[in-house]
Structure formats: structure tokens, C-alpha cells
A and B are shown apart, each in its own frame.
Chain A
Amino acid sequence: MSHIVETCDIVRVFKGHDKPVKALDKVSIYIDEGEIFGLLGPNGAGKTTLIKILTTLLLPTKGEAYVGGFSVSKEAHKVRQMISLVSGGETPGYGILSASENLWFFSQLYGLSSSSAKARIKQLMTDLEFDEYAKTRMSKLSTGYKQRLNLARGLLNNPKVLFLDEPTLGLDVLTSKKLRAYIVDWAKREKEGTVLLTTHYMAEADEMCDRVAIIDRGRILACDSPLRLKQKLEDNFIMKVEVSSVQADFSFVDDMKGVIGYSQTRSIQTDTTSFKVMLTEEKIFSKIMLKLKEQNLKILSANEVEPTLEDVYISLVGRGFEEGEKTTHET
């Protein structure tokens, strides 16, 4: 069976401020019908760029991509008939119109008949639990409800491939959970519903996706099921240490042998730093502990942890997600 989504060596270069930016570098992935596929990567990794190419909003600089067997650059119209795109953090529509009026409007872009549009809108609003806000102006909806509306819009045409760009961006835990569950449910219920979602939430990728591609600086570093990606780390030791002082300095591990990578999270409120380090051998950890004691840091906890998708990323890149993001923010 051929794949419903396929990209072949996609390169995308943008004109940067001073020098060109390579947002995608020879990206080749495929997605099968019915799969929920995740693109996981830090800010600036190229996730949105790939989604834009697949949804015909952007042309690849090199390479070609196919959705449903149609070329995104040459048969855009055919591609558009089978997809929809929902970008988290965006709220397309008209603030002055009510939720259901907005949905009706969008349904007309897909040529739905009046009666089937109405039925579909009612169904989606009930399923996504915002039917009580049907008559509320969009501008008066809270972020969570706007996002439900946005997702409902993406499902109006019952797309063959649903593209979701950070669908739970900025949402509260409960709403995120609901939307995730609904998306999974939709894909499984429809059987042939395929989803490509981008995220920088590890748990989201882990929980929802059949397969995940880890992307960093425009390159796909790994692509497999979350379980298998994590299994590859079985031979490593992942230790988590929590120390007092938000200013704890871990940079000494940079030169240590046997350190695959690490990440750190600092909390100003509790004046602590949480440090996660991936090692080839357990005994290296005692060296690290020694160094920490030399710094007169109080060790609040230290234990081995199960690998997560973040650790997969650390093992590939040598740093955590957050660190990567910080450096991109600075530039």
C-alpha cells in the first residue's frame, strides 16, 4: 500500500536577515492511512514549515511531497480537497459572529449542503462540549473554547488527513486532555482518519502518536513508535538529581566521558535546580555526585528514572528541549 503522506528529501530555505535559514534539510517521512503521526521538536525545529508545505501553503525549495498521492506543489487543489489544517494558538473566524455562525461559514468553503452542515456542526459542538456556547460571539469565548471551535472547524469536512500544528498550545491541562482524547478517538473511529500533529510537549507525542519523528534544526533525527524510541535507551542510565540553589552549575559534565547528554530545569520559586543526565555507565554518576558536593550543594533527591521521549531527544542532541529553546530565543 502506498503512503497517504510522503515527503522526499524536502529542503526549505528562507531568506534570513543576514544569511539564508535552512528550515528543513532533506526531510523524508511517510505516514500510513489511519496513523497518528507526531513531529516532535523544540522551537524553530521546522515543524510548522513542514506542515505548511504539506498543506500547500508553502513550496519546498527542493524535493517533493505527496498527500493522497497528489503532489503538493503541482496538484495543490486535489490535495486541498482531502485535508484540513488547525493551528493551535490561532483563532480563525470572525469575532463578531457566533460560534455556530462561524462554523457554518467555514462549512461553506467545503461546499457542504445546508442540512448536512447544520447536522455536522451540531454533532461537533456536542462532541467537543461547547454546544452551550453555540450562540456566543467568538470574541467572547475563552481560549479553551476558541480552540475547541478551531478543532471543530478542522473536522467539518471530515478530512482524510488532519494537520494539527501544536493543537494544545497554551491550553489548560483539562482542555488539552479532552482535545487529545477527541483527536485520537476521531482518528480511530474513522479508521481512515490520518493525523499529522506537531508538538513540543513530550507527553502529547507519547500519549497520542503511533509514530513520532524527532526533528531538530530541520533534520529528522529519529522516527519510530514512542515505545521503540525509548527502548533504544535501555542500555543507558538516566539519573535525575534535584539540588538546592537555582544557580547550581552543571557545566562540568560537558567534558566528562560517558555523559551522553543532560537537561536542567531551574525553579526560582523553590530555589532548586533539577538536573537530568544520561550516562553510558552507572558508575559515572558517583563522579558527578562528588563534583556536586564540592560545590557545597544540598542534594534533595537523586534517582534513576524511566526514559521519556525527552531523553530520546537528549540522547540524540546532547541537550534538553528547554536549553535548545533558550538559545533560539536569544538569537
Chain B
Amino acid sequence: MKRDEVLHNLKAAYARLWVRIKGGNREPEWLAAEVVMPVITLSAYIFLYKMVNAPSEYAGFVIIGGTMMAFWSNVLWNMSAQFYWEKEIGNLEVYLVAPISRMAILLGMALGGFVNTALRASAVFIAGILIFQVPMVLHEPLTAFLIFFLTIGALYALGMMFASLFMLYGREAWHTANLLQEPIQFLSGTYFPTTSQVVPQLVQLLSSLIPLTFGLDGIRRVAILGQGITDVWLHIIALAIFILVLLPLARLALRYMENLGKKEGRLTLRWQ
């Protein structure tokens, strides 16, 4: 009985993932724009750093930052507002009436979003490395992968939590997402390392609340500066804790919001 239920939910998650991938790549002209735009942004930063004679690793930092930013944007723009958007087009009602765990839908959304973004992000990454001839010093590819996937896990877990929280809060969700994009780009040091001297300690502290910061710093250390697992084990633990805390929080938020919605009659109310 229990096993059937797990299987059933996995099927639902897979179906949601399939929709995401199928829908997300049906119109390839978007794909081009989604790769070209970030590459242009990256170039701007790299030229800037070249002009001020920054150390050569900075180009690598920027490229990794830009690549990871693609995932963060996906989490903010697609994941967070997803349930709200699904509510607007009438899908949320269908999900909620179906005998499935809502986490399965969220999981499918997250995995689908990750796969779609990974396609674009790897294109950006490869283009960046080739165009700017960035020197990479990668001794421990496994460690790099581990940190990368932990970062992704933490980011999407955060996205799942946002999706639940934003389910009932329509337009405010968009504003919040909007508000978060810029500061996080700054705080997490997308385009420059937060550990550098220029960033005040308070900002460093704040930025460590975001899993992206640890992920970025960890990957940069391993992929560009040639460090190993002994240097980044704290990053790994921090990211794992993020996942372990955020996933149950997402589940809790989802339950809470669904119940609140059922009580207040806002689950399927539009344009609020």
C-alpha cells in the first residue's frame, strides 16, 4: 500500500518534470536568447575586470557566477511563482483535487526546471570558457560535482519553499522575487568573490544566509583555485544543512498554505 503510494507520487513528479522539459524546449528560439543574453552580461564583467587589471582568475569567477545565476533566476522566476501561475491558469485546482502529494508536483517542477536550466547554463559555461580562454585548475572534479549538486539541491529546496509561500500571495510574489534578484546577485558575489577585502563583514554575514554563496565560493575554490575537499568540507556541510532544513520547511509551508487557503477560500481565487 505504502509502496504503491510512493510509486504513484513518483509517476506524478515524473509527469510534471516531463511537461516542464517538453514545454520548455518546444520553442528553440527562446533557448538562443537564454544563452546569448547571459554570455553578453558575462563579457561585460570580464572586460571590466580586464580594464582594472584584476587577477586573471576573476574571469573564471565571473563565468561560474553567471552559470550559477542561471539556476538562481530559474528558482526565483519559475519555481517561486509557479504555484501562483498555475493558480491563474486553473491548474492548481486540478493538482489539489488529485490524490497526490503536493510535494511530488513541486519536486517535478524543480527537477524539470533544473534540467532545462542545466541545458542553458552549460551552454553559457562552455561558451564563456572558450571565448575568454579561462584557465581552470581542477584537481578534484568529484568534489566540484558534489558541491554543484548540493548547491542545486539547496537552491531548488529554497525554491520549493518560496513556491509554497507564494501560492496565496499573488502579485506580492513577483515583487518579492524582483526584490531578491539584485541584492542576491550582489550578496552572494555572483560576479566577484564575497571573501575579498572590498566586501564589508556585515554583507558577508548576510550573504551566508543564502545557499548560493556557499555553492559559488566552493565551486570557485575547487574548479579555479585548485583546492580540494579538505579546504571546502565546511561548504559541503553547510549546503547539506541547507537542504536538510529547507526541504521539511517547504513541506511545512505547503501544508500551512494549503490549509490557510482552504480556510480563507483563497486557494483558487484569482488576481488578488
Contact = CB atoms under 8 A, between A and B. Distances in A.
Contacts of A80: 97-99
B268 interface: yes
A104 B97 CA distance: 17
B268 A97 contact: no
Interface string B60-99: 0000000000000000000000000000011101111111
A49 B90 CA distance: 16
Contacts of B123: none
Interface stretch (B47-55, B132-140, B236-244, B258-266): B258-266
B90 A87 contact: yes
Contact of A105 (B15, B26, B264): B15
A189 interface: no
Contacts of B90: 87, 90-92
Interface in B9-37: 11-12, 14-16, 18-19, 22-23, 26-27
A328 interface: no
Contacts of B150: none
A104 B19 CA distance: 10
DSSP majority for the B interface?
helix
A108 B263 contact: no
B7 interface: yes
A166 to B, nearest CB: 13
A85 interface: yes
B59 interface: no
A101 B96 CA distance: 20
B251 interface: no
A49 B95 CA distance: 18
B99 A81 contact: yes
Interface in A107-156: 108-111, 153
A108 B22 contact: no
B265 A105 contact: no
Contact of A108 (B11, B93, B96): B11
B27 to A, nearest CB: 8
Given A83-B97, A87-B90, A110-B99, A104 B264 contact: no
Nearest to A108: B15
Interface residues of A, number: 33
B11 A111 contact: yes
Contacts of A52: 265, 268
A106 interface: yes
B8 A105 contact: no
B100 interface: yes
Contact of A58 (B12, B91, B100, B262): B262
A57 B96 contact: yes
B267 interface: yes
Interface in A2-59: 12, 14-15, 49, 52, 55-59
A59 B99 contact: no
Shortest beta-carbon contacts, A-B, top 5: A108-B15, A111-B8, A109-B98, A90-B90, A80-B99
Interface of A: 12, 14-15, 49, 52, 55-59, 77, 80-81, 83-85, 87, 90-94, 96-97, 101, 104-106, 108-111, 153
6 contacts: A91-B89, A92-B93, A105-B19, A108-B11, A109-B15, A109-B99
